[in-house]
Amino acid sequence: MTEVPLWSAHVTALDGHRTVRLAGELDMAAADELIELLLAELGTPGAAAVEADLGAVTFFDSAALGALIVAYQRAEETDRQFSVTNPTRTVRRVLEITGVYDFLVRPA
């Protein structure tokens, strides 16, 4: 039996800006792959900024939050930008409760 992934990512690039559109359930099962994906995008030659678009995320836990923080820290260390856009209500609540909303989410 083939296991269907509960989340997906689609990456687009324009000039030095990369957008990672995430969908589905971002949880402990997805966290390691999510970190790997975000760090790879931040490490792409010529990438000055990476944006994680969370507009289609249906579930978001502390492991997924940790992945975003790891990406944010790597961006800071490498003089690049990392931000979150379009957080769903579920995601926004987690980001606000944990106190990271203001530095992760780019104003619309």
Q: For residue 18, what are the β-bridge partners?
A: 13, 50
With contact defined as beta carbons under 8 Å apart, do 85 and 105 qualify? yes
> Measured between alpha carbons, how far apart are the two ends of the chain, in Å?
42
Residues 32, 66 contacting (CB under 8 angstroms): no
Domain ranges, ordered by start, for the chain:
7-100
**What is the distance, to the nearest Å, from the Cα of residue 5 to the centroid of all Cα atoms in its chain?**
17
**pLDDT of 36-71, one tens digit each?**
999 999 999 999 999 999 999 999 999 999 999 999
Q: Mean of the per-residue pLDDT values for the chain?
A: 95
CATH topology of domain 7-100: Transcription Regulator spoIIAA (3.30.750)
